[in-house]
């Protein structure tokens, strides 16, 4: 007949196990807290520029992005000018095709006050501050020169981590403006409306961009007054 264990001995063993488990839990390191939100200057000191003479961007943006860690609530700062555009998308097909209009949903957004004009001899400097409000893959590129700037390396992708989550001021930001679809060509006897359609399209895009910039500036002002 097997010996019976007395209740006191069983209680002592249970207590010892509890002490051991508690010690192991206390010794286990707690996860490191996410760092405070920061600004990431795209391309570092090289900025976001394109040299039309060499057909090359001012930096290797993929290498730059790989050296950074991005969290919700961080900002991307684009030091650029109106010779290039900034397109943000979560659509990897749009990104791989370097085509801002190749998006059937509201996944692609234009930033800046101008669509990017590489032929301008006197481009306007711009500083674009873009909040990271979408967790996961985010893609950025310039679609100027019919996507040639993007195809020649003016693009990068990042993975945005959750971190501490969005700051309160960014939880309900104004919705970025979707990329307008190109107008279908119209055929007339004299062909005179083609130029008018192109002008109308350009004005429409610039109007959307300009309104969005004002909305973003308002959001940034709210964010700065709350921190």
Asked, for residue 11, whether it belongs to a domain, the answer is no
Look up the domain containing 125 and give its range: 39-226
| Total count of domains within the chain | 1
Q: How far is 61 from 74, CA to CA, in rounded Å? A: 18
Asked, for residue 196, whether it belongs to a domain, the answer is yes
DSSP string, 64-75: HHHT--EETT-E
Task: For residue range 22-75, list pLDDT tens digits in order.
Answer: 554 455 566 677 789 999 999 999 999 999 999 999 999 999 999 999 999 999
b/e map 122-158, b = 16+ CB within 10 Å: ebeebebebbbbebeebbbbbbbbebbbbbbbbbbbb
Asked, for residue 86, whether it belongs to a domain, the answer is yes
Q: What is the pLDDT of residue 113?
A: 67
Q: Tell me the pLDDT band of 1, cut-offs 50, 70 and 90.
A: low
Asked, for residue 144, whether it belongs to a domain, the answer is yes
The whole-model pTM stands at 0.66
Residue 127, domain CATH: 2.60.40.420
Asked, for residue 159, whether it belongs to a domain, the answer is yes
Asked, for residue 149, whether it belongs to a domain, the answer is yes
Instruction: Indicate whether 136 pLDDT > 60.
Output: yes
């Amino acid at each position: 007949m097997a010996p019976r264990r007395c209740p006191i001995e069983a209680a002592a063993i249970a207590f010892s196990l509890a002490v051991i488990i508690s010690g192991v839990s206390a010794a286990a390191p707690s996860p490191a807290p996410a760092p405070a939100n920061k600004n990431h200057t795209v391309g570092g000191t090289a900025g976001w520029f394109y040299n039309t003479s060499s057909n090359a961007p001012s930096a290797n943006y993929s290498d730059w992005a790989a050296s950074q860690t991005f969290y919700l609530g961080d900002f991307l700062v684009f030091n650029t000018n109106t010779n290039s555009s900034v397109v943000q998308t979560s659509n990897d097909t749009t990104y791989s095709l370097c085509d801002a209009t190749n998006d059937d949903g509201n996944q692609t957004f234009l930033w800046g006050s101008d669509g990017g004009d590489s032929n301008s001899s006197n481009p306007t400097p711009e500083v674009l501050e873009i909040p990271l409000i979408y967790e996961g893959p985010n893609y950025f590129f310039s679609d100027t020169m019919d996507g040639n700037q993007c195809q020649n390396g003016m693009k990068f992708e990042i993975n945005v981590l959750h971190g501490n989550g969005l700051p309160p001021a960014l939880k309900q930001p104004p919705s970025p403006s979707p990329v307008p679809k190109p107008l279908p060509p119209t055929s007339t006897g004299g062909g005179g409306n083609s130029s008018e359609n192109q002008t109308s399209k350009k004005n429409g895009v610039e109007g959307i961009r300009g309104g969005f910039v004002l909305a973003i500036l308002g959001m940034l002002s709210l964010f700065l007054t709350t921190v």
